[in-house]
Amino acid sequence: MSGRNPTNPDPVSEPVPEPGPESVSGSGEFDLIGRYFAPLAGPGAFGLGDDAAVLTPAPGQQLVFTADAIIAGVHFLADDPAADVAAKLLAVNLSDLAAMGAAGAGYLITTAWPRDLNESWIADFAQGLAAAQAEHGIALLGGDTVATDGPMSLSLTAIGQLPTGTAMRRNGARVGDAIYVSGRIGDAGVGLRILRDGLVGGAAAERETAIARYRRPGPRLALGQALRGLATACIDVSDGLIADLGHLAAQSGAAMVVDLAVVPLSPLADLIGGAAAAVVAGDDYELLFTAPFGDERRLLAAAQGTGTAVSRIGRVAAGEGVEVIDAAGEKVELARPGYRHF
């Protein structure tokens, strides 16, 4: 991403300018970058005046890279507020960093704006991005801006850092470990159904929480860092708890047994079909991880120190795949494990 503004030493404190021309087609690439995104640039980005940024990791630190894209009509709804879309784009990437135990170091963004998009939408998006990056202590390093005749496509690459050799991966779960999840499961699935399908029922406050959890997920960065040295394997819940637990099972060469009765659920889970629907709904962006049973006291204390609720929901066993059981120990058959991209 290139632009014209000088390096801004305090990027998140600058207000995002008012919109210029009515639609994207009336602006040039560099005008959009300079107007909305250069104020978000962090150290090493040179005010987005160059085509690349320069980072130097601290001694004893490794860099962690992840990338995710969100597409209009697939990952967010057409009438979702622009600021929420920006916050979600950043959060889903930071959630991947959290799952490895990393802290954020910077990010790059590639935006493909529909040609008829009103520029005020981009202004709101940039304001949402400014607020989100300030909240998570991270800044923009670069990217690219293009126009498209297709749906809006937004891609973000997040860069994190952590002490050398401490990254949590998906392949460390061992037979006898316990399975844990942070927060609660199913809120985002309920929120999506409320917004997309007009789902009714439930208390107003809980409905608002569910919508917020869908539109603005909260990456568990502090918890991820606290789990370094405690969790044996970790992943974030994006496609659904069962689907993502399947990734841990495959990478670790073990079976995952989930007790459906103890999974912490959204209080509105019954509106979408109860526990069996909530664990496959996705978009929760909670951390799902394994750890030795004997370390539970230390693990729970570490989670409490970050202000995050953590629940034990199962165990790692010999075998393969994911088995879901009910309170009586009987196997529960699910129609699908989670969201499928293809």
Name residues whose C-beta falls within 8 Å of residue 340's C-beta, 6 or more positions apart in sequence: 239
Q: Tell me what pLDDT residue 52 has.
A: 87
Give long-range contacts, CB 8 A cutoff, 24+ apart: 193-200: 193/271, 193/272, 195/77, 195/80, 196/77, 199/271, 199/272
CB atoms within 10 A of CB 342: 2
**Domain 11-163 carries which CATH code?**
3.30.1330.10
Q: Tell me what pLDDT residue 217 has.
A: 96
Q: Tell me what pLDDT residue 12 has.
A: 39
Q: Tell me what pLDDT residue 340 has.
A: 62
Q: Tell me what pLDDT residue 19 has.
A: 46
160, 105 contact by CB (below 8 A): yes
What residue ranges of the chain are covered by domains with CATH 3.90.650.10?
A: 177-325
Closest CA relative to residue 42, chosen from 13, 62, 69? 13
**Spatial distance between the Cα atoms of 144 and 122, rounded to a whole number of angstroms:** 14
Q: Tell me what pLDDT residue 9 has.
A: 32
Strand partners, 109: 143, 156
What Rg value do the Cα atoms of the chain yield, rounded? 21
Q: Tell me what pLDDT residue 177 has.
A: 98
186, 272 contact by CB (below 8 A): yes
Residue owning tokens 């960065």: 221
Q: Tell me what pLDDT residue 219 has.
A: 97
Q: Tell me what pLDDT residue 44 has.
A: 83
91, 221 contact by CB (below 8 A): no
Q: Cα 301–306–311 angle (5° rounding)?
A: 60
Q: Tell me what pLDDT residue 4 has.
A: 28
**Spatial distance between the Cα atoms of 2 and 17, rounded to a whole number of angstroms:** 18
Q: Tell me what pLDDT residue 332 has.
A: 93
How would you classify the pairing of strands 103-114 and 153-163? antiparallel
Which residues of the chain are modeled with pLDDT < 50? 2-17, 19, 342
Q: Tell me what pLDDT residue 46 has.
A: 75
Q: Tell me what pLDDT residue 236 has.
A: 97
Closest CA relative to residue 70, chosen from 84, 55, 85, 82? 85
What residue ranges of the chain are covered by domains with CATH 3.30.1330.10?
A: 11-163
Q: Cα 102–105–111 angle (5° rounding)?
A: 110
CA 132 to each of CA 69, 79, 89, 189: distance values in angstroms, whole numbers, following the listed order? 17, 20, 10, 22
State which fold the 177-325 domain adopts. Phosphoribosyl-aminoimidazole Synthetase; Chain A, domain 2 (3.90.650)
Q: Tell me which DSSP letter residue 273 carries.
A: T
Q: Tell me what pLDDT residue 338 has.
A: 63
CA 146 to each of CA 27, 94, 124, 143, 298: distance values in angstroms, whole numbers, following the listed order? 11, 24, 18, 10, 48
Q: What is the pTM of this model?
A: 0.88
Q: Tell me what pLDDT residue 29 has.
A: 66
